Amino acid sequence: MLKALSGGTFSRDLTASIVVFLVAMPLCMGIAVASGVPPEKGLITGIIGGIVVGLLAGSPLQVSGPAAGLAVIVFEIVREQGLSALGPILILAGAIQVVAGLLRVGGWFRAISPAVVHGMLAGIGVLIVVGQFHVLFDDKPLSSGLANLVAMPGQIFGLSNQDAATAFAIGLVTIGGMLGWEKIRPASMKLLPGALVGVVLATLVAFLFSLPVARVVVPESIVAAVTLPGEGLLQQLMNPTIITTAVAIAFIASAETLLSAAAVDRMHNGVRTNYNKELSAQGVGNLLCGVAGALPMTGVIVRSSANVQAGAKTRLSAIMHGFWILGFVALLPWLLREIPMAALAGILVVTGVRLVSLDHAKHLLHRYGPLPVVVWAATLIMVVATDLLTGVLVGIGLSLLELLPHARRLKLGVDDEQRGDTHELALHGTATFLTLPKLSAKLEAVPAERPVILNVERLLHIDHTCAEMVREWMDRRRGAGTSVELSGAAGRLRNLAA
């Protein structure tokens, strides 16, 4: 921390922290609304994610806060178990993450198939869109994704209701302002986020014309939003339903965080993520969110990518963005109360649509064939039709099918050899997600400045999870100016060389 303050990076981190703050504010409130809780709950999570997790994080440039990926599961918790159950669930989930980090299992979350993760995110995106569509009309989402989907035409036909039409118009202004700004913004203002422009524009329209739309409700003091656990905490922590839900949140939040961290690593050439340290830091953050009665958190790729693109160099940027949120909420709560609910819904509709990445499905089909696409589609459908955890488990189960043809030879060997200044790694056997942590550790152990020969001549098979990891590693090394030569790639292994 002292190094960050005394070096020449402070001004870059300061600028980046303001950009991330502007991105995070509307998303913190919008995700809280989508989760069925008051907006200030999301702001508390953003503050803890910035200040506390920023200090402890194993991924210095990743920014943590409430995530769209958990909004669906939190909505279900609040609807079925009540808001009071959220605190104990997060305390337990956070403790699980801390222990998992200390036991050094962080690397195993990277072994989850990209098809499962992107299918999960796509399913979440669909659920957010069909749920927040109703909030665009100042209405409330229904109890399930399918119910929301079926009720969508009724909202359109109900536009004869003047208040609903006014709210919908505000939502469209937000979406139009957000997308329009992203298309036309000049290079000198590329860091000004479209979500902020959309919300400000919609808020001004609603304020100037005194429109009768529902607005955000926040307390006078952020301290008043903190809800400490009640007397029956220990009894709640022993409840099987609470335990099961906590395990689900810990698993999903950890997977999303560590995959986001891997994506952030691909965006810069600085310090690499310590996955176990990041996992424990997230656990501390979620434990504190549970004590404060706030939303769960993950590492968030939208904020993290904004942080990297804005030129952040150290963890100080994430920490400062937490202080900016705290200062804004403490000093200007009246300004937040002018924001229309439909404006936040508009931002989340765009966010949800962007989570449904058909390009990733095409990428999987082009490089690895139909099975990963089937896994992606099945995960998406099950998340929408049932629930988040069921969808993920179905996806993981289907991804095991890729092991069946190689069930008798699942071992992977990695031989190291020095050839002058060149480091050769020879792979033999079968590389699957089961061996991904071992393979990843071997690749990352190669000194950054040395040319590398990756010999796959004796590699019998590599699944798409390992192939994606190896390709990302090669791209990162080459991007840093280090030579990486692939030797012996043929047939099905050519996707490594592409």
Give the domain ranges of the chain: 7-336, 358-405, 412-496
Q: What is the pLDDT of residue 198?
A: 96
Quote the pTM value.
Answer: 0.85
CATH 3.30.750.24 fits 412-496, yes or no: yes
Q: What is the pLDDT of residue 263?
A: 79
Backbone φ and ψ for 65, nearest 5 degrees, come out as 175, -175
Instruction: For residues 257 and 249, give the distance between their C-alpha atoms in angstroms, rounded to a whole number.
Output: 12
As given in the structure block, the two tokens for residue 1 are 């921390």
Residue type for position 296 = P
Q: What is the pLDDT of residue 497?
A: 57
Q: What is the pLDDT of residue 421?
A: 85
Residue 176: its H or E element: helix 162-184
Q: What is the pLDDT of residue 402?
A: 82
Low-confidence ranges of the chain (pLDDT < 50): 2, 492
Q: How is residue 114 annotated by DSSP?
A: H
Q: Which of 130, 128, 134, 182 is nearest to 348 (CA)?
A: 128
CA distances from 403 to 3, 430, 461, 462, 464 (A): 47, 10, 10, 10, 11
Q: What is the pLDDT of residue 475?
A: 84
Within 8 A by CB and 6+ apart from 381, the residues are 123, 391
Give the CB-side neighbour count of residue 89, counting CA atoms within 13 A: 28
Q: What is the pLDDT of residue 24?
A: 92
CB-CB neighbours of 211 under 10 Å: 17
SS3 state of residue 169: helix
SS3 state of residue 143: coil
Are 132 and 352 in contact, with CB atoms under 8 Å apart? Answer: yes
Residue type for position 360 = H
H helices, E strands: number in the chain: 22, 6
Q: What is the pLDDT of residue 224?
A: 87
Residue type for position 68 = A
Question: pLDDT, tens digit, for every residue of 177-216?
Answer: 999 999 999 988 888 999 999 999 999 999 999 999 999 9
Q: Which of 75, 98, 86 is nearest to 237 (CA)?
A: 86
